[in-house]
Amino acid sequence: MSKLVKSILISSALLSGAGFGATLVSADDSGKFGLGREATPAEVAAWDIDIRPDGQGLPVGSGNVLDGEELYTNACAVCHGDFGEGVGRWPVLAGGHDTLTHERPEKTIGSYWPYLSTVYDYVRRAMPYGDARSLSDDDVYAITAYLLYLNDIVLDEDFVLSNENFLEIRLPNERNFTPDDRDQEPFYAAKTEPCMTDCKDGPVQITMRARILDVTPGTVDDDAAAGVGGVD
């Protein structure tokens, strides 16, 4: 940066020396252009609502399973089902334990999510779908407590979740996430020239045809579609 700043300053000096009313814009010695303004504490507080696994960002508050059940029934069950089982194609929130190696894994908060902080953060920032930011901090604690209950992670109906005990709760799948090691996969690690000629013995056989499944738009078959992966 400093070299760049220097050259900009030199050309600025040349220009101003020539008597023009403007110089080339430059960052100052600390790399600043003097644009923008300081955020007020109230502004930061209004937008900075994110939570991290170490509890950073958790607001002071609490909520229990029974209050959570009531809130959930009113605000969430229409899409996610009374027991987190999901209605139609809406996301399943509970169950699916030990299904991650199955042919059709069911990835829920209980079976897949690594951190409870993500539940609190996401519900608070984006749910209910279509009416985000409508829940109070205590409401979100209560709903989070109820989601733990639906997932058999807490068993006591009187359980109270708060910023005090939040970090004591660990989700079952926390340890099953690994770093990106795609570069170790054989086809990348090798970095060798691929085959160009006579790469297979004999003519190539077709093993699967999209036309058989027939779920391309215009020919939607919901039963067939139900068996395939989605994107959300």
Partner 1 sequence: MKPEDKIMTETKGSGSTNLSRRSLLKAGLAGSGAALATGALPAAARAEGDPLITEIQDWNRYLGEGVQARPYGTPSQFESHVVRRDVEWLTASTESSVNFTPLHELDGIITPNGLCFERHHGGIAEINPADHRLMINGLVDRQMVFTMEDLMRFPRENRVYFLECAANSGMEWRGAQLNGCQYTHGMIHCVVYTGVPLKLILEEAGLKTNAKWLMPEGADASAMTRSVPMEKALDDCLVAFKMNGEALRPEQGYPLRLVVPGWEGNMWVKWLRRIEVGDEPWHHREETSKYTDLLETGKARRFTWVMDPKSVITSPSPQAPVRHGKGPMVISGVAWSGNGRITRVDVSIDGGRNWQTARIDGPSLPKAMHRFYLDIDWDGSDLLLQSRAMDENGYFQPTKNELRAARGENSIYHNNSIQTWYVQADGTVENVEVG
Cα(139)–Cα(137) distance, integer angstroms: 5
Build a one-symbol-per-residue string for 95-134: x at contacts with partner 1 by CB under 8 A, - elsewhere.
-----xx-x-x-x-x--xxxx-xx--xx--xx--xx-x--
Cα(169)–Cα(124) distance, integer angstroms: 18
Cα(47)–Cα(162) distance, integer angstroms: 21
Tell me whether residue 21 or residue 217 sits nearer to partner 1 (CB atom).
217
Q: What is the DSSP string of 120-144?
A: HHHHHHH-STTSTT-S-HHHHHHHH
Q: Is 220 in the site for partner 1 (CB under 8 A)?
A: yes
Q: Is 42 in the site for partner 1 (CB under 8 A)?
A: no
Closest contact distance (angstroms) between CB of 115 and partner 1 is 5
Q: Is 217 in the site for partner 1 (CB under 8 A)?
A: yes
From 14-22, 61-69, 135-143, 209-217, give the range in contact with partner 1 by CB under 8 A. Answer: 209-217
Cα(67)–Cα(156) distance, integer angstroms: 13
Distances (CA, A) of 118 to 52, 98, 110, 122, 144: 7, 21, 12, 6, 10
Site for partner 1 in 131-160 (CB under 8 A): 132
Q: How many CB atoms lie within 10 A of CB 1?
A: 9
Closest contact distance (angstroms) between CB of 32 and partner 1 is 5
With CB under 8 A as the contact rule, the residue among 10, 25, 78, 167 that binds partner 1 is: 25
Closest contact distance (angstroms) between CB of 194 and partner 1 is 5
3-state secondary structure of 83: coil
Residues in binding contact with partner 1, number by CB under 8 A: 87
Q: Is 83 in the site for partner 1 (CB under 8 A)?
A: no
With CB under 8 A as the contact rule, the residue among 3, 17, 158, 205 that binds partner 1 is: 205
The set of residues, in sequence order, having a beta carbon less than 8 Å from that of 54 and lying 6+ positions away, is: 117, 167
Q: Is 167 in the site for partner 1 (CB under 8 A)?
A: no
